[in-house]
Structure 1
Amino acid sequence: MPIELSLVQKIAVWAIPVIFAITVHEAAHGYAARALGDRTAQMLGRLSLNPIRHIDPVGTILVPGLLLLLGGFLFGWAKPVPVDYRNLKNPRRDMALVAAAGPLSNGLMAIGWGLLLKLALAVGSADGIWMGLRYMAVAGIIINLVLMVLNLLPLPPLDGGRVLTGLLPARAAYQYARLEPYGMFILLGLVLIPGLLSAIMFWPLAIAESVLYTLLGLNASSALMPGT
């Protein structure tokens, strides 16, 4: 049965998964942009997997830390990687591909953490370092799937909104993109209304978790975190 972790232990378990989930997400945008012709991120030193280059003190550390302390919906953000659409060969299509790279990276990281969880369970996660790695792996799965699903919501300026903008006909895309200045206020409203964002994300997140655990041959009980 999972034990109850102290605050220090929770921070130790969640810190690495949260930092890498957020920063690799941003780096993926930069790598995708470079592959499609825009080297802005590279020229500004942001084309890196070094978390220090992407950490936003508020979005990467303070907000996730407070949410973890308060037991709320865990999410965060890093400094956005700059992309100049004028350097892209097909701006509408390529911006959609650049946007999709972030959630895709979270999906791949969730699989990676799932493989670590599988290893920890196979070796023996009852105590010691393997128990810590088990909890860290579960945290990695959770935060990456949450960020993947959250960012795929079709709301500008989230990645899902930019992907949808690239898929819509030009006239509809232009009208839809005009929502972007208000997107963060809409998202903030969803966060502040108790239970609303969780309800919107419940089924997509449940399906993503089910697919991941089925793919890796794991069961739901292996994903139990302390206190659940």
Structure 2
Amino acid sequence: MPGPESAKLHGDEPHLGGLAARLNWLRAGILGANDGIVSVAAIVVGVAGAMAENGAILTAGVAGLVGGAVSMALGEYVSVSSQSDGQRDLIAKERRELDEQPAEELAELTALYEEKGLTAGTARLVAEELTEHNALAAHLAVELNIDEDDVVSAWHAALASALSFIAGAVLPLLAILLPPAPWRVGTTFAVVLVALAITGSLGAHIGGGSRKRAAVRVVVGGAIALAVTFAIGRLLGASGMV
């Protein structure tokens, strides 16, 4: 069995609990920023294609930023609330079963370890030791793959989603407003596509996928979105409808 020295030697390896949850949070943040980049960039480029006034571009961009952030926050809140409520119900049910029928729960935990490949004697010993240490945590981990400490707060998820969207949305807003008028659309295209390549690559790296393929996908998708909205803006502007 590994001792304290082994723990020191491998202290930099990702054995800490909650690592998967933290990676999911990071990936969700990157995806939120990606959504902010594409959504607001498409809006401001479309408006810039139709008219040259900075005020109109700024108004549309800020409206897209605020609306998108609120929408992301609400969607994340509803989604995470449903998930966390379900997890809390399962935790409460498991806690109640452990209080009311501890012997049956110990037998169930033993059987689960036998299914994982342990011999009957070893499975019983493991189940007894884990039950003595923390019965609820043992059952949640093996039966439900839940860690009681990893139940996500819906409010935290909503705030993180909104902030990541805003962080991404600010980039195209600045890119379209700061350069001189003749350069702003081209600058926005360049800045946005570079930013999408970075977020796509980071998201794939966290998920263990191909960074190149992911970057190409988001860049192509972003380029199409920008081109289409800019063309629509140009057509509307040329038609005199705006």
Output the TM-score relative to the length of structure 2.
Answer: 0.30
Please tell me whether Structure 1 or Structure 2 has the larger radius of gyration of its CA atoms: 2
Structure with higher RCO (Cα < 8 A, 6+ apart)? 2
Query: Where is the helix percentage greater, Structure 1 or Structure 2?
Result: 2
Output the TM-score relative to the length of structure 1.
Answer: 0.31
